[in-house]
Structure 1
Amino acid sequence: MIKHAHWKKRLAVALTGGLLMLNTVVALAAPVELTLEDSIAMALNSNPAIKMTDADRKSAELQIKVAKSGNLPALAIVHNDTLAHSGVDKVTDFNTSVSLGINLYTGGKTESDVSAAKLKLKVADSAVEQSKQKIKLDATNGYFTILQTKNALKVSQEAVDQMEAHLKNVQAQYAVGTVAKSDVLRSEVELANNQQALIKAKNAYDLAISNLNNIIGLPLDTEVTVKDELKHERYTMALADSIQYALAHRPEAIQADYNIDVQKEAVKGAESGKLPTVSANATTGWQDKDFPGADNNSWSIGLKATWTPFDSGVTNAKIKQSDSAVVKATEQARQTKDSVQLDVRQAYLNMSEAEKRIDTNQVAVEKGEEDFKIAQVRYSAGVGTNIDVIDAQVALTQAKNNYIQAMYDFNTSKANLIKAMGVPVVEVKK
């Protein structure tokens, strides 16, 4: 009896644990409801690209301190232990020195290094913003892809439902001898085609969800429910104004201008080689034959000036190298700004083209629905053909898919335009 009771107790514990694990799995598998803003915020908080650019920014910030050290004092402590052997004699020597040095004038090199480091920090800041804009675009496109495939899945399901209803009508009429067997067969074939399209639409929807999960940092098998719908919100800024905004705000264009200034500072740094340098140094030391060498104290204070009027053309060569780098940076900036303008123009024109298709396809959907209803009524009345109904249903499905595609193209082109313009990312913490 005792063993039997013990066995029952263990079984109860195991069942309880299993239920707890099952509840945990169910809780983890619960759908996640997301708005577009939610998706963007999650992507910004989890994507490693931002963390990498933040690390680069921190490195650039520390480089300013490194550059400023050229005009700051430096303290050095040196201790030497020496054992010398010459014939039968052994000599020990313990030497300790403390020196303090500072550059009083470097010909402008330190100041140029500091200015260049500050400019590189601005480049790094711009790179962080560029990374955020790219991630925002990826999240936006991923979210809109879910909306597109969700609507396409709905259209495919409607097509299957419509064809199933039509097939029942055809079968009923065939049963009473009012239509030929070919109508039944043709309708069955069309239903099979629609069912195949539905399978593909479901797969596209599942892939879109996995892709967004990957972008925003969720497990790939997380079930996502999107709250928004595809909308048509008109863009009001003119193309010329959009281009001007991009040239002033696009991170790549800003970086290109900063890179020119960095190379100009490099020219100043190279030119400093023609100027003298002045430094001051104070040293004190102790030397003795016994460790730690604390006797025989000595000290010195010195001022050192160095000027190299001739270095076999090395300084002039460095200056010319820096001048060439300025020319290269200038041309790269021009090339970058041309590319920025092209990006804006392409996104703007694609958006405008998609916007025109929205209105056209919306009308096509309305006409297609009316045509499909008429074809169904005519077929039921015996004055229309089965092909008329099938053709009307195919045309309606195509019109709906075209409308969804136009809405998707408009919204993604608009998102690409915002990215091409360099509109700053406003982070929303979730």
Structure 2
Amino acid sequence: MNSKTMKLCSIGKLLKQGMYPLFFSVSVCSLQGQTVNSTTIKLSLLEAIRYAKGSNKLIDVLKTEESATKLDIEDAKMGVLPRIQSNAVYQRYTKATLFDGVLGDPHQIPKPPDPNAGALALESSFNVYAGGRQRSVITDLERKNELASINTREQEANIGLQVALQYLDMIRLYFQERLIKDQLARAYTRLKNINTFYANGKVTKSDVLRAEVVLSNVLLSETANKNDYLISNQKLNTLLNLDGFTTIIPVDTTSLILYDSLLLEELLQDYGGSYAILKAQKYIELQENRTRLVKSFNLPAVAIFGGYGFNYPNTLLFPAVAQTLGVGTAGIRVTYELSSLYQNKDKVRSSRLRETALKDQKRWIAGNVQQETKALAIKYHEAVTRMQVIIKSIEQAETNFNIQNTKYLNQLTLLTDLLEADNLYQESRFNYIQANIAALSIYYRLLFITGKL
């Protein structure tokens, strides 16, 4: 399109019979305030999307998981702090049984220097170096938290997309109801005229019966359309976490704006916000960190430690003395697991292979996102082109209907020709509404795929 915007309501001159304004020029109050005392809510499209993002139950579940991963990070950070242990023990020995020789002449004596024994100690250790193992654990949890955040935002966008599609569907059904009422008025008028012709002997009973059948079919279409609107309203209530009996009235005229090709091209040039690509990148970063974690087991670990304790009896001397001994220790501990040289070799290789696979997967996802967005852009332009063609067909169908209606009133054509003209006129207007809503639905899908919804 050359113009920047096109509004559905702008074709009012083409859909002039029976068409009433869809939207109301009213200021929309706060949603929470409206739900307190009323079961009817006036909502704009953006307001509905915003409210759904804040109230949908599935989004709440993902937000809870995101909060849990934040606590996991805090817990992992506590691991860098010194470990402090305390212990206290008391025990009493029985008399010791002594045997002369192998098992000869047993006799018992109290345990020297005292049958009582106990200890009280406080120990502390601090990890100085472990190949970056603790840092890798923290980074791993940070990546999981970032992934949980992306999942939350993706679900919010997904709910927003569902709300937008459902909202647009309600608009489509509303306009279709207006068109059906217009057709219904024509059917009633036509039946009245045919009954007059029949009374004057100008037409046969067949025309009367056919007109009655057409009227019945239009009434049935009206009922089906109302039921579809009710079902669409209930689906939107579910997405917004509202009571099933709440009636939602769409009030946002801007939701019917069609955007020009320049804005569409901007969407096609930026895929950085795509949730699928963002998640693929986080999985790569997560696997790279896990590779570093596996490699850390090939490196030595260094820790410093210290403690102070009391022991009874004093076994530091020989022979043991029945006295309490207080003594402290401090030192440095270096450990290196030699078996890691051959045990971790395959683990490191498998982790690197997974990195390569994830990078290939990301490239495939990026290509798939680009292909999908370009396909949607093609369908968007197709829908806009179809609307331009249909506008002309509406004019032609309306002219044809007026001609056939005039001819039939003058008994110059058959009822079959008039009904065919009426159906063609109605169908062309239906097609315009469907093409308009289809184009808008494609646009919101593009917003979702590119991460801008």
Counterpart in the other structure of 1:395 = 424
Give yes or no for the alignment of 1:171 onto 2:171. Answer: no
Preserved contact between residue 153 and residue 205 of structure 1 (Cα < 8 Å)? no
Q: How far apart are the structure 2 equivalents of 1:136 and 1:312?
A: 52
> Are residues 84 and 194 of structure 1, via their aligned partners in 2, closer, same or farther at CA, if it must alter by over 3 Å?
farther
> What are the equivalent positions in structure 2 for 1:265-344 lying under 5 Å apart?
265-288=289-312, 296-311=325-340, 313-344=342-373
Q: How far apart are the structure 2 equivalents of 1:165 and 1:85?
A: 114
Q: Single out whichever of 310-319 and 380-389 deviates more from structure 2.
A: 310-319
Counterpart in the other structure of 1:220 = 244
Q: Alignment partner for residue 446 of structure 2, among 417, 421, 427?
A: 417
Counterpart in the other structure of 1:148 = 172
Preserved contact between residue 90 and residue 118 of structure 2 (Cα < 8 Å)? yes
> What are the equivalent positions in structure 2 for 1:2-13 lying under 5 Å apart?
none
Structure 2 counterpart SS, 1:275: coil
CA apart distance, 1:298: 2.6
Counterpart in the other structure of 1:59 = 68
Q: How far apart are the structure 1 equivalents of 2:303 and 2:195?
A: 103
More helix by proportion, 1 or 2?
1
Q: How far apart are the structure 1 equivalents of 2:419 and 2:215?
A: 10
Give yes or no for the alignment of 1:252 onto 2:276. Answer: yes
Paired amino acid for 2:337: T
Q: How far apart are the structure 2 equivalents of 1:409 and 1:332?
A: 32
Q: How far apart are the structure 2 equivalents of 1:82 and 1:185?
A: 108
CA apart distance, 1:140: 0.6
Counterpart in the other structure of 1:16 = none
Counterpart in the other structure of 2:19 = none
Number of matched residues?
A: 394
Report percent identity of matched pairs.
Answer: 22
Preserved contact between residue 239 and residue 345 of structure 1 (Cα < 8 Å)? no
Preserved contact between residue 39 and residue 245 of structure 2 (Cα < 8 Å)? no
Q: Alignment partner for residue 34 of structure 1, among 29, 43, 58?
A: 43
> What are the equivalent positions in structure 2 for 1:315-394 lying under 5 Å apart?
315-394=344-423
Q: Alignment partner for residue 231 of structure 1, among 239, 253, 256?
A: 256
> Are residues 85 and 196 of structure 1, via their aligned partners in 2, closer, same or farther at CA, if it must alter by over 3 Å?
farther
> What are the equivalent positions in structure 2 for 1:201-220 lying under 5 Å apart?
201-220=225-244
> Are residues 70 and 106 of structure 1, via their aligned partners in 2, closer, same or farther at CA, if it must alter by over 3 Å?
farther
> Are residues 182 and 69 of structure 1, via their aligned partners in 2, closer, same or farther at CA, if it must alter by over 3 Å?
same
Structure 1 counterpart SS, 2:245: coil
Q: Which runs of 5+ in 1 are unaligned?
A: 1-25, 426-430
> Are residues 74 and 164 of structure 1, via their aligned partners in 2, closer, same or farther at CA, if it must alter by over 3 Å?
same
Larger-Rg structure: 2
**What per-residue deviation string (whole Å, max 9, x for no partner) do you get for residues 114-161 of structure 1?**
333333332222222212211110111111111111111222222122
Give yes or no for the alignment of 1:189 onto 2:213. Answer: yes
CA apart distance, 1:215: 0.6
Paired amino acid for 1:215: L
Q: Single out whichever of 69-78 and 406-415 deviates more from structure 2.
A: 69-78
Q: How far apart are the structure 2 equivalents of 1:86 and 1:55?
A: 61
TM-score under structure 1 length normalisation? 0.85
> What are the equivalent positions in structure 2 for 1:46-125 lying under 5 Å apart?
46-85=55-94, 91-125=115-149
Structure 2 counterpart SS, 1:60: helix
Paired amino acid for 1:123: L
Preserved contact between residue 298 and residue 341 of structure 2 (Cα < 8 Å)? no
CA apart distance, 1:296: 3.3
Preserved contact between residue 82 and residue 93 of structure 1 (Cα < 8 Å)? yes
Q: How far apart are the structure 2 equivalents of 1:341 and 1:218?
A: 36
CA apart distance, 1:185: 1.0
> Are residues 377 and 85 of structure 1, via their aligned partners in 2, closer, same or farther at CA, if it must alter by over 3 Å?
farther
CA apart distance, 1:85: 4.2
Q: Which runs of 5+ in 2 are unaligned?
A: 1-34, 97-107, 314-322
Structural RMSD (CA): 2.4
**What per-residue deviation string (whole Å, max 9, x for no partner) do you get for residues 355-377 of structure 1?**
11111222222222222222211
Q: How far apart are the structure 2 equivalents of 1:357 and 1:220?
A: 36
Q: How far apart are the structure 2 equivalents of 1:51 and 1:295?
A: 60
TM-score under structure 2 length normalisation? 0.81
Q: How far apart are the structure 2 equivalents of 1:80 and 1:199?
A: 84
Q: Single out whichever of 143-152 and 71-80 deviates more from structure 2.
A: 71-80
Structure 2 counterpart SS, 1:249: coil
Paired amino acid for 2:81: L
> Are residues 27 and 321 of structure 1, via their aligned partners in 2, closer, same or farther at CA, if it must alter by over 3 Å?
closer
